[in-house]
Structure 1
């Protein structure tokens, strides 16, 4: 199916609007922890899989290594993560969450739930399933 220029612009407009709304929401909510909208995704993935390498984190989040390094550096400066050199590869860093991270974990996930509930509040169960399926499909198309 070929989309008209107007439809293409509308798709991009809505994706952009959701992106900026999400950033604004998380910027406000995570500000009290000195976590920016650029770092929360990294901390989330570390909560789910503590002790992975920076390279693994970059791959999981589909971002370049420099972006990961900057985010981890900020989280480390704030005391939320620590890095250690891997014994088997001195060029690689293992990232671990700290006690400070654990102390905010419950509220961190409450903020994520609040966002998802807010975004999905006007959708039926079927619409939610369909939307998630379509977004997953788009995200996995691996466009570079």
Structure 2
């Protein structure tokens, strides 16, 4: 009974929420010097990973709706980090490209990601870190809302 009761009182979402909030604070603090917010951070990372990807692919990869993606990319474009170009084969689609300004800070942005990953995993063994990564991926892949 004690195990059942303890299990009922565990709220995994509470910890996920805390990680999200703490991550946003950390990332905002670190990338604000470049004029980027945590809300734009992950979109810029996706373009770093594959320059020239279209907006819809970015939305699908991040599991974020198209409107939110369009707004985040518009802000990155206004700030001079990306350019959006109509796809020559599909005029309804925009391809997203890095500007020189974004390329100049690429390593700094990836350093922020590495620092955050280090912070959240520093108390874990390598095996625990791998298990956490696999479990979180499994949970995310299982939720389709």
1 CA distance for matches of 2:109 and 2:125? 26
2 CA distance for matches of 1:17 and 1:142? 19
For 1:89, what is the secondary structure of its paired residue? coil
2 CA distance for matches of 1:86 and 1:131? 38
Q: Which runs of 5+ in 1 are unaligned?
A: none
Report deviation, 1:89: 1.1
2 CA distance for matches of 1:59 and 1:49? 14
- Trace 1:1-144 onto structure 2 (pairs within 5 A): 4-7=7-10, 10-144=11-145
For 1:140, what is the secondary structure of its paired residue? helix
Corresponding residue pairs, total = 141
Q: Report the TM-score when normalising by structure 1.
A: 0.94
2 CA distance for matches of 1:70 and 1:126? 38
Q: Report the TM-score when normalising by structure 2.
A: 0.93
Please, what is the CA RMSD of the aligned residues? 1.3
Report deviation, 1:5: 4.0
Q: Which runs of 5+ in 2 are unaligned?
A: none
Q: Deviations over 1:57-104 (max 9, x none)?
A: 100100100010010001001100000111111111010001000000
Q: Deviations over 1:1-27 (max 9, x none)?
A: x885422xx211111100100000001
Report deviation, 1:143: 2.6
